[in-house]
Amino acid sequence: MLGVISNIQRFTVHDGPGIRLTVFMQGCPLACWWCHNPESISYCDVKDAGDNLRFSVSELMKEIKKEQVFMDESSGGVTFSGGEPMMQAIFLEEILRACREEDIHTAIDTSGFVLSDAFHSLMDKPDLFLYDIKVINNTLHKKYTGASNILILENLRTLNKYRKNVIIRIPLVPGITNTKENIHDIKNLLLELPNIKKINLLPFHTIADGKYKRLNLENKMQGIRPESNANNVEIRSLFTEAGFETSLGA
Amino acid sequence: MNDRIKSLKEKSLNAEPYMSSQRAELVTEYYQSDEAKGLSIPVKRAMAFKHIMENKMLCVMKGELIVGERGLFPKSTPTFPEISLHSLTDLEQLNSREKQYFIVDEKAKNIYQEKIIPYWKGKTIRDRMFRKLSDEWKLAYEAGVFTEFLEQRAPGHTVLGKHSFKKGFLDLKTEIEEAKLKLDFCNDPNAFEKKEELIAMDLAADAIINFAKRHAARIEHIIKKESNPERLAELEIMRQNCLNVPANAPSTFWEALQHYWFIHQGVITELNPWDSFNPGRLDQHLHPFYTKEIEAGTLTKERAKELLMAFWIKFNNHPAPPKMGVTLKESSTYTDFSLINLGGVKEDGSDAVNDLTYIILDVIEEMRLLQPSSMVQLSKKNPDRFIKRAIKIIKTGFGQPSIFNTDAIIQELMRQHKSLEDARNGGASGCVETGAFGNESYILTGYFNLPKVLEITLNNGFDPRTKKTIGLKTGDPSTFKSFNELMTAFQKQLNYFVEIKITGNNSIERLYSKYLPVPFLSLLINDCIKNGIDYNSGGARYNTNYIQGVGLGSITDELTALKYHLFDQRTFTFRALKKALDADFKGANKMQEQLIEETPKYGNDDNYADDQARIVFDMYFKAIDGRPNTKGGSYRINMLPTTSHMYFGSVIGASPDGRNAKQPLSEGISPVQGADRNGPTSVLKSATKIDHIKTGGTLLNQKFAPQFLSNNEGITKLAQLVRSYFKLDGHHIQFNVVTADTLKKAQAEPQKYKDLIVRVAGYSDYFVDLTEELQNEIITRTAHEDMS
């Protein structure tokens, strides 16, 4: 079994606890306007689809284990991000099992847009879910991500039901996800899920502009400036006051 | 920082480096005197030292709390004509050169012309050295295969131990008397020489006591003119201090600092030991005085800080003495490398960090001075608070403190057969050099240019720059069938040059032993008094010689490129490569790009490349480690460059790693600039594939942008990164926190800053890969953070 991987990043420090290695897996069913990794959306990138991006489980484990001393020292681990890592469910399951055998902490950074069967089969495998919530209004969700959020919300309820370790990640995109209505909706949704207590707010930034230019892709966020910090802090207070353990920035 | 310290610091920062001829005059005067005739050399050296200390001009400045200047005033720096003599042309050059200049006035030039040059010409150690050294040595030296540390500076490279804070020089005089009584003139053929040495040490002790007393008299004179009652009270204590120390052991915190400072003056005036001298484990030495006085209510934390700040300024007043030629190139800095050690473990192995450690860290942060340098020794036993506090200072971006692995240092010293207690009392000095403080003479003898040896191997013994055959004929590399054959040839050349270097060292060491003993320094390092033998003749408990390997990253990438392209992939032939190298890649741009971009590189945790680092390191270790020196000790290796990687690069043509002719080599054990593309964890992994415990120090530099360290989480993770490196037995790491200025340079010259990582909003990237707009944003933000 081979995994298709767009990039491996070492010494990542914001994708879960400790010092981590992040595996960016290729392919994503969504196409969010603000995506920071537009090159990882298509299942097989036309330009870079060389064999060098395909890893077997043992090859990838070799790369992961190179970082073990740092993971041990910092209680870190490995994070599977993307793209949507759960799209490569079989490979992901195998690599998660291999990590568990080595006692390596694992996290999945997911959009939640995954078929229920696949989701159920993977649910017990990682130590942590970094679970993205973007827009609650489904019409708007479809507009900005290209897909419905029904599956996403259903999968989140499943994680809550089975008391999985989850950190909700909310990208604060100006005028799209950070609107009063949307923040209010997200808060109400999360209040219904008693086992979910942690939120990580991700301020919008323009770091991917260069990638869009380089890859000659349309950048729908062209000209949108990052929100003032005060606004983001206000949103954090809102969640904190509602009883969530909320961090801002990453 | 109060007004007094501000004003003293200002004076220090504004003072211009000035060459003083006074010491040269005094030492020449003594050597020419009738009194000097017929004395044994050690006694003559001690008497000359005494003559200087009893006659040199004193400097006590307004508001000072610690007194003693080597020159006439801050940054006034003497010369040492016994070792190497500045010519009139040298003096002109010193005065006019752009970097590391010294003002030389007409008076000094006249004194040199009339007195100093006529007397010392042909008699200096450097003259004697170059008369004795072999042609092979000179060829290799001129080609830039190695440098010679002792051509312009004396062996020194040692650090004060804790016993020196518990004894005064009157105590040492008693020890000398006891040692004299034990001399056995019947059965010990060296007893007569030992007696002379002990007499010399005794005279040197008198010299420093008298030097202090002269300061007491000078202060008494100032007291008569002072009207401010507060200052008067201070001056009276200072006068008492100069009468008490260093004759007796210090009894107060203030005395302890003044005591050390007189000792420092003595060591750096007697000769100009390389890597000056330093108090070593300062927080350990001072802690008993601090605690006692805080409990008694005779000292406040604020006063202790003020005294430490005054002490710091004294170091900054003392640039390294004027260097010339290759010595300047290998060490082009004013820094005299006094490296204050903090933290680590106590003699019993327990955590040594104490409340004074943190106070000294505060002082370092507030003073932000070039000198003294500072470092923290981090043991697995030290608390996280300690390393985090150090990182908070590092993030302010002035390169201090650097971080050392105590647990590795102890293993390194134990491997060299030091006792466990001596190892635990040790640390690092100079740049990164491991030593048993107070007990060891550990002489650095010169840098060794590893990539140059490969260049000579690839040219079958011929040096393309000096156009001379300087090495062995190890065969035409185009006939080599395998990579192993190439490595065998390289090893032969390596061993050949190491033997030339060591043969040269042996002859130079004898010269110092014979002509320039250091009775004053010998008083300080165990067991010179007990043995009746000078520091420069093997009197110390441990006597180690180092040859410092340079360019590990470069040679690893060069060998890897040869292995990969010539033997494994067969991308091109040796002849084609040689032609491109000879033409400095002109007309061979594609090949150069392949060598740079399509070749495994050291620094990426890739064994294909890192294996070569291991092989070269092991060869270098085997060539040197364990060979005897002339002082009853052994040769060891360490891996550090100071600034020699620039000089060594300048003598090498284009190289197989794609580097153009004359460009700098990699520094320390860091990867070639821009060759590491997988971030810091991979660099640390690559760097620990060599066995640091077999060295006496390695140097690793890492760049970081300050944003990463802007919050507690970043600081914690950097601390964890350091702890991980040390778990892997890494010896030392220093973080270069990148300033806005550097980022601007990176923007202008991206090819030189390919490895610069910046972190913004949770995402990390190579700075040069970012859009110009974003680069500007980061620059602005960094500039803002720099100011705050």
Reported as a single tens digit per residue, the pLDDT across B276-326 is 899 999 999 999 999 999 999 999 999 999 999 999 999 999 999 999 998
Q: How far is CA A159 from CA A128, A208, A211, B125, in A?
A: 11, 31, 34, 79
**Closest in A69, A73, A205 to B761, CB measured:** A205
The rounded distance, in Å, linking the Cα atoms of B345 and B282 is 13
Chain A contact for B110, CB < 8 A?
A: no
User: Which B-chain residues 582-641 have CB contacts (< 8 A) with chain A?
Assistant: 605
- Residues pairing with A246 in the sheet: A199
Cis peptide before B372 (omega within 30 of 0): yes
The rounded distance, in Å, linking the Cα atoms of B123 and B614 is 44
pLDDT in the model for residue A44: 64
Kindly give, in sequence order, each residue whose CB lies less than 8 Å from that of residue B680, ignoring residues fewer than 6 positions away.
A10, A11, B702, B721, B757
pLDDT in the model for residue A48: 55
Rg of chain B (C-alpha set): 27
The rounded distance, in Å, linking the Cα atoms of A81 and A25 is 6
The rounded distance, in Å, linking the Cα atoms of B384 and A73 is 12
- DSSP label at residue B245: T
Give me the count of residues in chain B.
788
Taking 90 as the threshold, does the pLDDT of residue B370 lie above it? no
pLDDT in the model for residue A68: 97
Q: What is the DSSP string of A78-113?
A: EEEEES-GGGGHHHHHHHHHHHHHTT-EEEEEE---
Q: Say yes or no for a CB contact (<8 Å) between A73 and B680.
A: no
Query: Of A160, A184, A183, nearest to A170 (Cα)?
Result: A183
Q: How many Cα atoms are found within 13 Å in the side-chain-facing hemisphere of B279?
A: 27
**Closest in B678, B724, B760 to A70, CB measured:** B724
Chain A contact for B727, CB < 8 A?
A: yes
Taking 50 as the threshold, does the pLDDT of residue B565 lie above it? yes
User: Can you list the positions of beta strands (E) in B576-729?
Assistant: 634-638, 701-704
The rounded distance, in Å, linking the Cα atoms of B161 and B174 is 19
Reported as a single tens digit per residue, the pLDDT across A56-97 is 999 999 999 999 999 999 999 999 998 899 999 999 999 999
Indicate the residue type of B179: A
Indicate the residue type of B217: A
- The DSSP element (H or E) to which A169 belongs, if any, is strand A166-172
The rounded distance, in Å, linking the Cα atoms of B68 and B261 is 7
**Closest in A11, A66, A249 to B762, CB measured:** A249
Q: What is the three-state SS of B512-524?
A: HHHHCCCHHHHHH
The rounded distance, in Å, linking the Cα atoms of B204 and B202 is 5
How far away is chain B from the Cα of A121, in angstroms, using its nearest Cα?
Answer: 30
Q: What domains can be seen in chain A, in order of their start residue?
A: 2-248 (3.20.20.70)
Reported as a single tens digit per residue, the pLDDT across B130-181 is 999 999 999 999 999 999 999 999 998 899 999 999 999 999 999 999 999 9
Torsion over CA of B304, B306, B307 and B308, rounded to 10 degrees?
Answer: 90
Taking 90 as the threshold, does the pLDDT of residue B332 lie above it? no
Could you give the residue ranges of the DSSP H alpha helices within A146-250? Answer: 150-161, 180-191, 209-215, 229-241
pLDDT band at A46 (very low <50, low <70, confident <90, very high): very low
Kindly give, in sequence order, each residue whose CB lies less than 8 Å from that of residue B266, ignoring residues fewer than 6 positions away.
B49, B53, B204, B207, B208, B211, B520
Chain A contact for B162, CB < 8 A?
A: no
How far away is chain B from the Cα of A10, in angstroms, using its nearest Cα?
Answer: 6
Query: Of B728, B750, B716, nearest to B605 (Cα)?
Result: B728
Tokens 């006068």 -> residue: B239
Closest residue of B to A206, CA-based? B774
Mean pLDDT for the stretch of residues B353-361: 98
The rounded distance, in Å, linking the Cα atoms of A198 and A75 is 19
User: Can you list the positions of beta strands (E) in B325-414?
Assistant: 339-343, 373-378, 402-405
- Residues pairing with B544 in the sheet: B442, B634
Residues of B with a catalytic annotation lie at 431, 433
User: Which A-chain residues 190-249 have CB contacts (< 8 A) with chain B?
Assistant: 202-203, 205-207, 209-210, 213, 249
The rounded distance, in Å, linking the Cα atoms of B532 and B538 is 10
Reported as a single tens digit per residue, the pLDDT across B58-88 is 999 999 999 999 999 999 999 999 999 999 9
Count A/B contacts: CB-CB distance under 8 Å: 72
The rounded distance, in Å, linking the Cα atoms of B208 and A210 is 66
CB of B271 closer than 8 Å to CB of B80: yes
Indicate the residue type of B246: P
Mean pLDDT for the stretch of residues B548-570: 97
Taking 60 as the threshold, does the pLDDT of residue B786 lie above it? no
Closest residue of A to B680, CA-based? A11
pLDDT in the model for residue B787: 35
Taking 80 as the threshold, does the pLDDT of residue B785 lie above it? no
pLDDT band at B524 (very low <50, low <70, confident <90, very high): very high
Taking 90 as the threshold, does the pLDDT of residue A210 lie above it? no
The rounded distance, in Å, linking the Cα atoms of B708 and B574 is 45
pLDDT band at B677 (very low <50, low <70, confident <90, very high): confident
- Taking the model in full, what pTM does it have? 0.93
Could you give the residue ranges of the DSSP H alpha helices within B163-248? Answer: 169-182, 191-225, 229-244
Cis peptide before B161 (omega within 30 of 0): no
How far away is chain B from the Cα of A116, in angstroms, using its nearest Cα?
Answer: 30
pLDDT in the model for residue B243: 98
Tokens standing for residue B732: 């030392």
Q: Say yes or no for a CB contact (<8 Å) between A74 and B717.
A: yes
Judge if ipTM > 0.85. yes
CB of B548 closer than 8 Å to CB of B640: yes
Taking 50 as the threshold, does the pLDDT of residue B784 lie above it? no
CB of B487 closer than 8 Å to CB of B127: no
Cis peptide before B401 (omega within 30 of 0): yes
CB of B216 closer than 8 Å to CB of B243: yes
- DSSP label at residue B535: G
